[in-house]
Each structure stands twice: as C-alpha cells, then as structure tokens.
C-alpha cells in the first residue's frame, strides 16, 4: 500500500523576546549626557589621549582607566560603508528594514574610534568613504541606543564642514 498524499505542511512560530540589560557605569554616563545635552560624549585616555566613542571604561592601548569625558562634534566622516540589499530585521523595531540601505563606520569629529550605524541617504550608491554625515537624534530622548536614529549623509567634505575636526 502506498501513501501518496502530497499535502505538505508548514510550522509557524512567533517568538517575542524581551530582556533587560545593565548598561554599566560608562554607557550610563554616555546616555545620561546624551539625554541631558543632546550631545555625544566619548571617554579620553589621560595617557595616550585617544578618545573612544562608544565610550569605554578602559583604554585599549594602555589598559588605563578613563575618567575624562569629552564633548564630541555633531558631524563625522564615513570611514567604511556597505550597501545592503538583503532585508534584515531592524534591531530597533524588530521589523524588516527596507532595502537598499547603507551601513557605515562613522568617525565622529573629535573621536578616534568609529561607530557602526545606518547612513540615511537618497542615493546609496553614491555614498563614499570620506563623505560627511550629521548625527540625527530623535525628538524626545529616552537615554538609550534608540536615541541615535541614523546619520544623515551630507556629501563629500567641503573646507567648512571639516572645521571642527581634531
């Protein structure tokens, strides 16, 4: 006897995952300053003067504890980028992000390290390394990672836009 039913079934599962994380003293300092002043702050090593954004408690070069907070610029430079055509779940919303979109490594004026974030642009293919971006914060800050919405693409550097660079 043969069994020839070819009705194939699907299994549908939805997971809702929620969790709390202690951000630690350093990130808490960053979020509190961001919320109070609408400014990005980094930590500076008193030994090698390297400025970290995102801030870190200990300098990666010198292993020295950092207690100095430095106010950083509102703009930055793209030092790496990728154009994504594959729909991924946006970690901010849990929903797919429309493609294409640009992910960039951004060096904020005054920082020595880079941030990985979304670059908002009308033309993903024309974003180049060295282009300038501006930080876009949400209107009502909550003191968490969602406060930085994205970095708005400004275009190639002009002499005036690089004025605040360290």
Residues within the interface to other proteins (CB under 8 A):
1-5, 7-25, 27-28, 31-32, 89, 91, 94-95, 143-145
- Residue 48, contacted partner among Zn ion, other proteins, none, CB below 5-8 A by kind: Zn ion
Residues 6+ apart with CB under 8 A from 80: 104, 105, 114, 129
Which range in 19-27, 62-70, 103-111, 136-144 contacts Zn ion by CB under 5 A? 62-70
Which range in 51-59, 74-82, 90-98, 128-136 contacts Zn ion by CB under 5 A? 51-59
Phi/psi at 39 (5° precision): -130, 150
The residue (of 86 and 125) whose beta carbon lies closer to other proteins is 86
The residue (of 1 and 140) whose beta carbon lies closer to other proteins is 1
Nearest distance, CB of residue 61 and Zn ion, angstroms: 4
* Residue 106 burial (CB count, 10 A): 25
The three-class DSSP label of residue 87 is: coil
Q: Are 40 and 34 in contact (CB under 8 A)?
A: yes
- Residue 10, contacted partner among Zn ion, other proteins, none, CB below 5-8 A by kind: other proteins
Name which position in 28, 36, 37, 62 contacts Zn ion (CB under 5 A).
62
Q: Is 47 in the site for Zn ion (CB under 5 A)?
A: yes
Nearest distance, CB of residue 74 and other proteins, angstroms: 24
Phi/psi at 75 (5° precision): -115, 170
Q: Is 48 in the site for Zn ion (CB under 5 A)?
A: yes
Pairing status of strand 101-108 against strand 75-84:
antiparallel
Q: Are 75 and 39 in contact (CB under 8 A)?
A: no
CA 158/CA 4 separation, integer angstroms:
70
Residues that bind Zn ion (CB under 5 A): 45, 47-48, 59, 61-62
């Amino acid at each position: 006897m043969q069994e020839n039913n070819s009705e194939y079934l699907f299994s549908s599962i939805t997971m809702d995952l929620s969790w709390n994380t202690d951000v630690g003293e350093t990130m808490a300092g960053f979020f509190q300053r961001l919320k109070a002043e609408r400014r990005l702050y980094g930590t500076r090593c008193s030994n090698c003067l390297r400025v970290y954004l995102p801030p870190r408690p200990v300098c990666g070069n010198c292993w020295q504890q950092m207690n100095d907070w430095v106010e950083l610029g509102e703009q930055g430079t793209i030092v790496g980028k990728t154009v994504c055509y594959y729909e991924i779940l946006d970690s901010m919303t849990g929903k797919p992000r429309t493609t294409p979109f640009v992910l960039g490594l951004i060096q904020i004026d005054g920082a020595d390290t880079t941030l990985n974030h979304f670059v908002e642009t009308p033309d993903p293919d024309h974003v180049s390394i060295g282009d300038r971006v501006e930080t876009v914060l949400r209107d009502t800050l909550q003191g968490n990672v969602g406060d930085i919405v994205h970095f708005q693409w400004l275009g190639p550097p002009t002499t005036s836009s690089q004025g605040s660079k360290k």
